[in-house]
A = this chain, B = another copy of it.
Amino acid sequence: MNLANQCIEFMHSSMYRHLWSNAPKECLEYGDYSFYQHFQRSIPSFLPREMIRDYIVGRACASDVQKYVCFNSVVRHVEFVADQKHFTLRFHNLVTGKNKSENFDYVIVAVGHFSVPNVPSFDGIDSFPGRILHSHDFRDARQFTNQNILVVGGALSAEDIALQTYKFGAKSITISYRTKPFGYGWPPEIEELPLLTHIDGRTVHFKDGSKRTIDSIILCTGYKHHFPFLTEDLQLHTENCLYPDQLFKGIFLQRQPRLAYLGMQKFYYSLPFFDAQAWYLRDVILGRISLPEEEDRASDIRLWRERGKQLSGPSEGIDFQVDYARQLLDVTDYPKVDLLAAAAMFKLGRVHKQENILEFRDKLFTSPFTGTPSVANPICWIDAKDDRIL
């Protein structure tokens, strides 16, 4: 919640105070704008969100792209007008309070998919007297100091919020998983239990018969793809996966390819991965790349999804995503990026987590792009309790 924003549009990103990147920055370096170019010095591999933001904004400023962005405007409705072969967008200007309509030949949906909480229900949760929140509403770990916390979930949010609350002095953290535990060498304050079965007052019961007294429940149970501003025929329906159905090259909506989705995958890569999609998409719009016929697009989607189903584990997922990005990058003029090096660093980062979950963010990597080695943080991640630029 941006408390200073007097415009009525209540939303906040799912990021929270003290959030740091969970992959080395060397994996998410833009091909046309290096970290060294931006910061003009060597910096650590793992960065607080403020520095990542600074880097992203810095690149946007360098290209002066902001002058094309219509800020403070909420798109309320998008429909395809078939007989006129264009999209009509209705949007609301938060500053003037006015609504406006405008027509476009292409629409690119790049709103992200980590905002709308997926909220499961459990027996007795309605009468739990403590605080219940989804990770989307987790804003600051210091709100949970001295508490007994239940973290529900088995993915990255659960992992990081367990670490955050530990770092800022929660009394105990119980992670409840559905499929399998992380299995890290957690500190004694963090434990993993199978899924909860029911809640009775402050007492939470788990599948293995154990029970814990809990002050706050944090549901790290993921997000939903949600596009209420699009007419139904334009909406992508997918779970969080490496290759959503109905998207040719992971971008173009099969039944209406002039509607494109960017970054709707589950991703290991982030910034350069979005670039790969954006460059490809741009070239399609400019006519440099032509889209195949509907049937051929369908076969291509099918092939990728079949391969996606064979994957066993994150390591193969990383390779899959490298191959996916490569086919996009190979046909555009995006600066050459070393995808294999990035994949190797992702995998190494995962090994570091297994070795020591409290220290993996203190490890150092070298940019395959500029050859710049990173430098150690002045203090270790576990002791760095500040959001500021390092």
Contacts and interface: CB of A to CB of B under 8 A. Distances in A.
Contacts of A226: 8
B4 A121 contact: yes
A126 B8 contact: no
Interface string A1-31: 1011010101000000000000000000000
A129 interface: yes
B130 A142 contact: yes
A226 B10 CA distance: 12
Given A129-B142, A228-B76, A117 B3 contact: no
Q: Which of A77, A120, A139, A232 has the most CB of B within 10 A?
A: A232
A116 interface: yes
Interface stretch (A91-99, A274-282, A347-355, A369-377): A91-99
A231 interface: yes
A77 B126 CA distance: 32
A140 B98 CA distance: 37
A366 B332 CA distance: 80
A196 to B, nearest CB: 13
A167 to B, nearest CB: 13
B228 A92 contact: yes
Given A98-B232, A143-B131, A3 B76 contact: no
Contacts of A120: 3
B126 A3 contact: yes
A132 interface: yes
Interface string A324-336: 0000000000000
B3 A119 contact: yes
Nearest to A129: B142
Interface string A217-233: 00000001010100110
A109 to B, nearest CB: 17
Contacts of A143: 129-131, 216
A125 interface: yes
A380 to B, nearest CB: 21
Given A130-B143, A231-B99, A121 B3 contact: yes
Interface string A166-208: 0000000000000000000000000000000000000000000
14 contacts: A3-B119, A3-B121, A3-B125, A8-B224, A76-B77, A92-B228, A97-B232, A98-B232, A99-B232, A129-B142, A129-B143, A130-B142, A131-B139, A131-B140
